Structures are given as C-alpha cells and as structure tokens.
Amino acid sequence: MADKSPRIKPGSSKINDSAADGSHRVPRGDSPPSALPHRPDPLPSLFLPDPVTTAQITDPRPSVELFAINEVAGVASPTSFADYRVPARKNLGEVDAQGVREFKHRQYVAVSDDHFVQVVRDAESGLFRATVARELKASGPLMEPDAEGRYWHPIASGSPLDRGDAPSGLARSVDERLATLFPTMAQDARTSMHRERLTGDPLLAVARLEAQHFTLVKDLGAWTGQVPSRHPVTGLPLTNTEIAAQTASRERFAQELRDNWSRKATSANPYTPSTLDYDLDVLGSLPRLSADFSHVRELSLTSTAPLEDSAFLASFPGVRYLTLSGFAFKSFPAEVYQMRELVTLTLDNCDIRLSEASVEGLAHIEQLILLDLSNNPLGLSPDLRFMRRLDSLYLSDTGLNEVPVGLFESESLAFADLRNNEIAHLPDELFEVPDLRQVNFNFRNNPLDEATLQRVSVYMEAAGLDSKVLIQVDGEVQMQPQIAAFEGEDSGVESS
C-alpha cells in the first residue's frame, strides 16, 4: 500500500494557503493579512504566557490587532519538525511509564538532550502527535519512542512534514521495523503478519506495535519493583533477602513476557510462542498489561503463592487452552468470558466460589470440551446443559452436595470426576442413561444414602454384556462387564 501523507486541516477556513503538494504552509511574510503588521517570531509558548493572557494583563481594551494575531495563530501550522521543538528546561516533571512529561497540563516528550516537543493523544491512531500550544488542532507528525524509550522521533511516512528533521535511518520500511520488534521471527512469518494484521495504513499499524512494546517494557519494569513489603498471607514483613529474591523472580517472569510478545523461544517455552507455560514464584499480584498477547493459544500458569488479581488475563483473549493453579481469585475470573475460542478450562485450587451470575456466564462457554474446577469451594454447581461438546469434567473436592444440572444429558461426556464431595443422592436421570454410552461417573467418597447405592447396584447388574457405562461408588467396585474372547477352536475365531 502506498504511503499516504496525513491530511492537516486548518483550524479556520479564513486562511488556507496550500502548496501544490497538499502540505499546509504559513502565509509568507511578503503577503501578510492586512490587519497583521510584521512582528518578530515569539519565543516558544512553553516559557511565555499565551498571547491572549498577556494582552488581558497589559491592556484590557479590545484590540483588533490582537484578534488578527490570534486568528492566524489558531490556524497556522509549522512547516517542518524543527518548528515543534522547544528548548529543554529542568522543571518539566518526572517522566511517566509512557515516556511523557507533564508541565502546566501540557504533555512533552524528549527528542534530544536539549529539546522537547509538545504532544497530544491522536484520537484516530491512539498515538501521540506533535503540536504547538497555539494550535487548535494538532498538525504535527505522529511520534514514537526509540528502542530504549529515551528519545522520541516522528513516525516515518510519505509526508515531508512527518519525516521532518529526523535522520534518514528512521524512515525504515515496515519490514525492517517489524524485524526490530520480532528479531527471531522468520521472514515469511513477518510477511504474513504484515499482510494479515497491519491493515489500513501499515506505517500507523507498525507504529502502534512499537508503542505497545514500549509500554509493555515500561509496565513490566514498574511491576518488577513493586514487591510487597509484607507477605500477603502471613502478614509478616519481608526481609531484604526475600525482597531481593522476589524482585529476581518478577524480573524472570517479566523477561518471559517480553520474549513471548516478541515471539522469541525461551528455556521455559522452547517450541512455540503460542504457548506460555510458566511456574510462578511471586508474591502480590501479576502485572496489569495493556499489551496484546492474542497470539497465545495455550496459557498455563502455576503459582506457589495465592495471587488474587485476574486482570492479567485480559491481555490473552485468543487462548484456547487455559490452565491456572494455585491462585486465590475468590470469584470466577470474568476475563475468561472474553476468551471466545476457549475449549479447555482448568482452574484448579484457585479459591473460586460461584455465584448465580458466574454459573450463568460459565454455562454459555458452550464450546468447552474439558472443564476442571477441582479443589475450589464452589458453593454452587455449574450448569452443563449448553455444553454439548463437553468430554471431561473434573469437580472433585468442591464441596458440592448435588450433581450439576445437565450432567447426565450430555451424549459427548466420557468422564465425570465428582469424588470427595457431599453428594448424598443421585437423581433419576443417572439411571436413564443408556448402558451403551461409553461414560465413567466417579462418585467415590461421597455420603451416598443406602437407597442410592442400591439403585446403582441394580442398574449395573441389569446392564447388558456389552454395557459401556461405569458408575464408581464406595464399597464394591462397579466394573464394566467385559466380553472375553478366546482364540481357539471353540471361540468362533479362525486361527491363521
């Protein structure tokens, strides 16, 4: 797709001097508006009050001349990137996680040791665009930080203004910039990403990726240093040695995330970046990320400490296989509902309690083939009636006192583990299951009443020799009847 120069709209239709190439230009000095006498260029507005404020202080009377100055200032746009630069000063405030400083409610980014550029958030692209204080509408180029996040530069495009005074090396091709972000990605994979994901203006799209990576690095750097001072379970203060160990653990996981975003193989995940499998050893909470990890299809995290916050999961909407163990969510993580392609869900030992709302939400993850909520104080049973593809169900040690709705209706179900619960009665639907269905129901270590145990015994004894149903309860083990085949002269099978 050919590069397009961004269209720069003047703030007023009264002055619109455009060159043949479409770039907006300030009215030249040899043809000023009649109401505007020639004056030297003012100093950058970062260091002086706005023209309106100054005029109101020195002379409260209306001024035709002042009106003309402001009219031109509101519509005139700089003609090169150098016009946006202002000298650096020491009190611009601390840089935030995005590399932006705020001074008098205006935002600035460093373009060198000696100069800054004022920026505003561009509504269309979500990136920062250069501007000057006098502009009603930002007219400058979109900006991006360098790889270290120290200095910003205009995003390369076909526009002379967007190229500005940036070095020629910044005007790299989209593929070169993708190669910087994803250094180990094969050429054909980058080409595929360029074709499938960088829709619209590819320069803007790759700039968004660069901004996303910059923010990810900043977010993870901040999270690494946010080790809690006390243990979240015991409440005891952490020693300096423990804090140092926790910082190191966080840095290792942060590096794993950075590498995964860049599609790099790691020692923990050496085969494909679509899998993120990691054993966590961090206290507190996982980082809240704005970066997109939708390329991850399998997410498996095991925690040695009870991590509570589930917001981390929001960055993984493309997950198909989710396994979490050892967390302390308290309630069902709502972020799971956004994983539209989820087919296996394991939330083992995550301190989850189901509410009526979460039971309904879980019921509509209809494409699940495996559901594992073992070792959670669920309180309520899940609803399985809409899970037509469910093959395996694990609900052991969940404190349930009744079987889930729809458990015996699913013809795809092959295994249901409901051991170690408080179930005393099995409904009539169990004994209506055709004995030719190949399914294993495990109800061991439940306080089943005598009437239920007797019904199970009668059902299994009445099953045919080709029965495939298995119902496991305490006491005498109920086994599937087997048909023995003997290869002999009486077996009916000819020997070779």
Q: Which runs of E-coded beta strand occur in 220-262?
A: none
State how far the Cα of 302 lies from the Cα of 281, in Å rounded to an integer: 9
User: What single-letter DSSP state applies at residue 40?
Assistant: P
Please state, in angstroms and rounded to a whole number, the distance separating the CA atoms of residues 7 and 21. 11
Helix, coil or strand: residue 32? coil
Tokens linked to 25: 């230009």
Query: What is d(CA 300, CA 278) in angstroms, rounded to the nearest whole number?
Result: 6
Distance (Å) of CA 6 to CA 22, 23, 158, 407: 10, 9, 9, 59
Residues 170, 210: Cα–Cα separation, whole Å: 13
Domains in the chain: boundaries: 1-171
Give the tens place of pLDDT for each residue, 255-295: 999 999 999 999 999 999 999 999 999 999 999 999 999 99
pLDDT in tens, 168-186: 333 357 888 899 999 999 9
- Taking a C-beta distance cutoff of 8 angstroms, is the pair 248, 240 a contact? no
Q: How is residue 389 written in tokens?
A: 């593809």
Q: How many C-beta atoms surround the C-beta of residue 111 within 10 A? A: 23
Give the length of the chain.
Answer: 496
Tens-digit pLDDT profile for residues 312-364: 999 999 999 999 999 999 999 999 999 999 999 999 999 999 999 999 999 99
pLDDT grade, residue 122 (50/70/90)? confident
Per-residue pLDDT tens over the stretch 48-76: 344 433 334 444 444 333 333 333 334 45
The predicted structure's pLDDT at residue 284? 92
Which of the residue ranges 9-13, 418-422, 449-453 would you say has the lowest mean pLDDT? Answer: 9-13
The CA distance from 473 to 19, in Å, is: 86
Higher model confidence: residue 122 or residue 214?
214
Task: Write out pLDDT tens, residues 26-42.
Answer: 333 444 444 434 444 44
DSSP 363-400: HT-TT-SEEE--SS---SPPB-TT-TT--EEE-TTS--
The distance between the two most distant Cα atoms of the chain, rounded to a whole number of Å, is 121
**What distance in Å separates the CA atoms of residue 446 and residue 440, rounded to the nearest whole number?**
16
What is the Cα–Cα distance from 439 to 425, expressed in whole angstroms?
Answer: 19
429 close to 403: Cβ distance less than 8 angstroms:
no
Instruction: Locate 206 and state its tokens.
Output: 């790759």
pLDDT of amino acid 237: 96
User: Using 50, 70 and 90 to split pLDDT, how confident is the model at 145?
Assistant: confident
Predicted pLDDT at 375: 98
Q: What pLDDT sits at residue 106?
A: 87
Res 480: pLDDT: 52
Q: How distant is the alpha carbon of residue 426 from its chain centre?
A: 42
Give the Cα-Cα-Cα angle 396, 399, 400 (nearest 5 degrees). Answer: 85
Question: Tokens 């031109």 identify what position?
Answer: 72
Residue 142: which H helix or E strand, with range?
A: strand 142-145
CB atoms within 10 A of CB 8: 18
- B/e letters for 369-389, b = 16+ CB within 10 Å, e = fewer, are bbbbbbbbebeebbbbeebee
